[in-house]
Amino acid sequence: MVEESGVASASAPMIPPFTREQELTAFREMLLIRRFEEKAGQLYGMGVIGGFCHLYIGQEAVVVGVKMAARDGDQFTTSYRDHGHMLASGMEPRRVMAELAGKRGGYSKGKGGSMHMFSREANFYGGHGIVGAPAPIGAGVAFANAYRGDGRVSLTFFGEGAANQGQVYEAFNMASLWKLPVVFIVENNRYAMGTEISRASAQIDLSKRGAAFGIPGKQIDGMDVRIVKATADEAIEWCRAGKGPYLIEAQTYRYRGHSMSDPAKYRSKEEVQKMREEHDPIEQVRARLIADGMSEDELKKIDANARKIVAEAADFATADKEPDPSELWTDVLAS
Amino acid sequence: MTVNVLMPALSPTMEQGKLSKWLKNEGDAVKAGDVIAEIETDKATMEVEAVDEGVLARILVPGGTENVAVNTPIAVIAEEGEEVADTADHAPADRVGEEDKAQKQAEAAPPVPGQTAPQDEPGEANKAATKAAVEAATPAPKATSVAAQPSPRVAPEVPEGTTMVSMTMREALRDAMAEEMRRDPNVFVMGEEVAEYQGAYKITQGLLQEFGAKRVVDTPITEYGFAGVAVGAAFAGLRPILEFMTFNFSMQAIDHIVNSAAKTLYMSGGQINCPIVFRGPNGAAARVAAQHSQDYSAWYSQVPGLIVISPSNASDAKGLLKAAIRNDNPVVFLENEILYGKTSEVPALEDFVLPIGKARIARPGKDVTLVSFSIGMTYALQAAEQLAKEGIDAEVIDLRTLRPMDTATIIKSVKKTGRCVAIEEGWPQCGVSAEIAMRVQQEAFDYLDAPVLRVTGKDTPMPYAANLEKLALPSVADVITAAKAVLYRS
């Protein structure tokens, strides 16, 4: 069932409930991303962060739900709206923020920036600036998993705009042909920059996009972290059982512009407001926690903690030095 | 009327082959489309079909004969009842309705890879259905622009007294991959037709049999996608050898070669390296025209984060491919189809690995420096031989690695000779030879007695017509002219 807003609601007849602990984990993780992104937006306005900066605000339930279903060792690969994925992967907020600021303490020593960040320790394989590129790269990570038979699953994210890229289908074909353990997660936030999905896609049910390759697909409400988690559980289990890839279309929404320089002429303020008020992924969890007897104060403490982590990250990023000029010439080739 | 069946040629590099066996005996009736014999070259096994109906009157070259030159008559087909001198008794022809020749040919043709649309060009008196589609794509046995390469001198890295074995560059490349695959279980090969087909140019021959389908992976014809998959696998710690059927098709994958493979180490602050080899034939083969004849040396050697290697002989090919596979960086390894079948001496060392980034002085001399690489070395060395007859002593440098370029070896030589000609098959603008000229004028300006000259492919797409193709490519004469020009001799 699709509401006026265009986001499916209650697409699963029974939403698998979260335990109190799971609700708290989801709340904490999503709130950290939200506060981090708000701060990144501020720092961009202050000129601390430059270039392109794509905020994840509104989409937090997608990566957090998938992360909650993943096992240690499973890998994450995404495109350039990637800050949330890095935080969900367990990367340090201060080093992510320092990278956004182009400082030496950043994950890429300041040489990658917002769109190009990686962490081998956290099994985070980017951070890719080219639309569609994560699909074959994530399938390649899965190829390595299958080659080694290590039971790991590659969790590969891209947007609904990327879902029209040819290389995505080349990757789908090989992933299915070779039964690679990869979950493709399309984060459908409805706007590829300013182009609404129905203006760019002949088939807007993106969960069907793997059908020609025999890849099972599910279209879900990506604003409900419980649904994302339950679907990712199924998908990951499918992959780990050696059945090949799985496709999830998570219908979501970004509150902010495509990047920081978005004129926002392509959608109404009312539409954005309605999504924030009625479908916000964090507010949904907050409401359930309150209904379950949590006090506002306890939740405020979690929020205060997130703000503290983010403030420290911002301070670190602001105070950190730019890379040494000699770094221009390092890391071009591995020695 | 009798018809001679000729030894067929199906590729520009095939000059001779083995007549493996006859499938028909003298006296057997044959009809058009019947497979009468099998032929082997180093690249492919082919079936020879009869084109005429009649009786296989005489077999002129027995089964098992090696080195049968192209266009040698191998059998005679006579009309039924026709007398052929010395023909053995033959059974009456078994007349069956003639098959539709075109239909038969269509059936015999293997599935065709997307970008290559091979068209068999049958000889006068025979047709061969080849099992190698790409082989068939390149007809015309006549040597087009390049004659046999003079034996290159052995790499300076080889210890004196080392036993040498003769092998083709094709065998050397295969051996390099096989040795590295035995050494490191993370090394695997992927690409179009690398496994069951045994390689479109037979470079991966036998690898599937030794290493199995897990490590020798046939891909769909989707360069962009499988380059991305291989890069992802390399990020995750495997060591892919990715074969492009030819580098022309790498343009579909260039985004992953440049944006993903070359830049990620830098963009990740040194965390994520990409140990991958992109290899395959590069540049002009023979008579395959504009879309299948491009030289990518300049393209890839412009990109920081890539290593670019382009060997000219079997020994360098082996030693450098092994080094490339062991290297922790993305390596673009540009081979050349015409050189695949050329034989040269390869050291019989257990583990022959050459250093990347070191040029080789292929011929010492004092009067003029000729710098080239890959098939360009063919022109350079032949020109040097001819110049020697005129009393000009040319030093010939084989770059071997284009990036990082061994500028020091070039400069040292130019300081000695005072004159330099750079030779390549690629286009002139922003070419490798343009880069060489720049470095020489920058680092040895005061030593130059003449401007640096270039001999390059012409600034046009590659034409199909044999005469135009010859004009489009550099020639030995071009190199001689340029060498004399920098020496102010006519």
Looking at B319, B347, B375, the residue that finishes a domain is B347
Phi, psi of B78 (to 5 degrees): -115, 155
> How far is residue A165 CA from its own chain's centroid?
19
Same domain, B374 and B335: no
Q: Cβ contact (<8 Å) for A120 and B329?
A: no
Inter-chain residue contact B229 with A118, CB threshold 8 Å? no
Question: What is the ipTM for the molecules in this complex?
Answer: 0.93
Burial of B97 (0-12, 13-18, 19+ CB in 10 A): exposed
Tell me the pLDDT band of B2, cut-offs 50, 70 and 90: confident
Residue from B47, B179, B223, B469 carrying the catalytic annotation: B223
Average pLDDT over residues A309-317: 98
The residue segments making up the domain with residue B56 are 3-137
Tally of structural domains, chain B:
3
Residue B268: pLDDT over 80: yes
Q: Which residues in chain A are contacts of B216 at CB distance < 8 A? A: none
Domain boundaries, chain A: 21-319
Query: Between β-strands B401-403 and B307-309, what pairing exists: parallel, antiparallel or unpaired?
Result: antiparallel
| Closest residue, chain A, to B229 (C-alpha) | A140
| Type of residue found at B230 | A
Name the one residue in this structure whose structure tokens are 């994210």.
A157
Quick check: helix, strand or coil at residue B231?
helix
Separation between Cα atoms, residue A62 and residue A226, nearest integer Å: 10
Classify residue B319: in a domain, yes or no.
yes
* Residue % of chain B over a pLDDT of 70: 84
Supply the CATH number for residue B182's domain. 3.40.50.970
B260: chain A residues, CB-CB within 8 Å: 128, 130, 133, 137
N-to-C CA span, chain A: 55
B69 to B7, B9, B18: CA distances (angstroms): 7, 9, 9
Lowest mean pLDDT among A115-119, A207-211, A228-232, B160-164: B160-164
| pLDDT at position A41 | 94
Question: Are B169 and B316 members of one domain?
Answer: yes
- Show residues of chain B in contact with A129, CB under 8 Å: 259
- Residue B208 has a pLDDT of 98
Q: What does the alpha-carbon distance between residue B244 and residue B140 come to, in Å, rounded to a whole number?
A: 24
Stretch B21-48: mean pLDDT: 85
CB-CB: which of A139, A170, A330 is closest to B232? Answer: A139
Residue in chain A lying closest to B306 (CA): A333
Of A119, A136, A177, the CB nearest to B228: A136
Kindly state whether residue B156 falls inside one of the protein's structural domains.
no
The reply to whether B338 falls in a domain is: yes
| CB proximity A330 to B under 8 Å | yes
Q: Which amino acid belongs to residue B129?
A: A
- Are both B129 and B238 inside the same structural domain? no
Question: Same domain, yes or no, for B230 and B332?
Answer: yes
The residue of B211, B218, B268 whose CB has the most chain A CBs within 10 angstroms, and thus the best one to mutate to test that interface, is B268
For helices B169-183 and B314-326, angle between their N-to-C axes, nearest 10 degrees: 30
pLDDT digits (tens, 9 = 90+) for B206-227: 999 999 999 999 999 999 999 9
Mean pLDDT of chain B, nearest integer: 87
What pLDDT score does B16 carry?
83
pLDDT in the model for residue B13: 63
Can you name the CATH fold of A21-319? Rossmann fold (3.40.50)
Does one domain contain both B169 and B112? no
Q: Does one domain contain both B319 and B369? A: no
**Within a domain: residue B147?**
no
Q: Is B223 one of the catalytic residues?
A: yes
Q: According to the model, what pLDDT value does residue B297 have?
A: 98
Residue B12 — pLDDT band, cuts 50, 70, 90?
low
Please confirm whether the linkage preceding A127 is cis (ω < 30° from 0).
Answer: yes
Do A109 and B269 make contact, defined as CB atoms within 8 angstroms?
Answer: yes
Q: Are residues B326 and B364 in the same domain?
A: no
pLDDT score recorded for residue B159? 86
pTM of this structure: 0.86
pLDDT band at A208 (very low <50, low <70, confident <90, very high): very high
Question: Which residues on chain B are in Cβ contact (under 8 Å) with A170?
Answer: 220, 222, 224-226, 228
Which pLDDT value is given to residue B99? 41
Say if B144 falls within a structural domain: no
Contact A170 B226 (CB under 8 A): yes
Average pLDDT value for residue range B369-373: 98
Strand partners, B242: B190, B278
**Closest to A258 in 3D by CA, of A208, A197, A191:** A191
Same domain, yes or no, for B132 and B262? no
Q: State yes or no: is B179 an active-site residue.
A: no
The predicted pLDDT at position B114 comes to 41
Q: State the Cα–Cα distance between residues B311 and B323, nearest whole angstrom.
A: 12
Give the pLDDT band of residue B309 (cuts 50, 70, 90). very high
Co-location of B203 and B327 in the same domain: yes
Domain identity same for B130 and B170: no
Tell me, what's the pLDDT at B144? 35
**Same structural domain for residues B130 and B227?**
no
- Characterise B465 by phi-psi region: left (phi > 0), alpha (psi -120 to 50), beta (else): beta
pLDDT at B438 over 60: yes
pLDDT for B91 beyond 60: no
pLDDT value of residue B482 = 98
Contact B256 A126 (CB under 8 A): no
| Cα gap A19→A37, rounded to integer Å | 27
Whether residue B102 is predicted with pLDDT greater than 50 in this model: the reply is no
pLDDT of residue B247: 98
Contact A138 B256 (CB under 8 A): no
Average pLDDT over residues B382-411: 98
Pairs of residues, one from chain A and one from chain B, whose beta carbons lie less than 8 Å apart: 150
Task: Clarify whether residues B131 and B176 are in a common domain.
Answer: no
